[in-house]
Amino acid sequence: METVMEMPATGYAPLAADPAWVRVCRLDDLADSWGEAALVKGQQLALFRVGRGDVFAVSQADPATRAHVMSRGMVGSRGRTHTIASPLHKEVYSLATGECFGRPELHLGTYPVRVVDGVVEVSV
């Protein structure tokens, strides 16, 4: 089952002091090494929590096909680099930079993420 997290009308609004950051969900809402889809300011994102507190936000669109499936990809690593493998063609991307390891012409969009008081915030 796929969960799409959208910003509710109250509780997860942009911070008044810094409107570039949008509250998306609680850190505890994200399972380790499992993706969740979120709609943030009209952008479809895939959120990933790796370990206790590393959180990444990438485009939900697969760079090779443009299908919105990246939250269903497999989380892994290449050395110390956290990665996501597309569920369609298995291309592997860095969660931090969006670099594709197998096809350098492909690039996965990435978004800045921070966790403030247990809440995941994304800048889009």
Instruction: Provide, rounded to the nearest whole percent, the portion of the chain with pLDDT above 90.
Output: 81
Return the pLDDT at 52.
86
Q: pTM of the prediction?
A: 0.83
**Token match 């493998």: residue?**
85
In this structure, the strands spanning 35-40 and 4-6 are: parallel
4 has pLDDT over 70? no
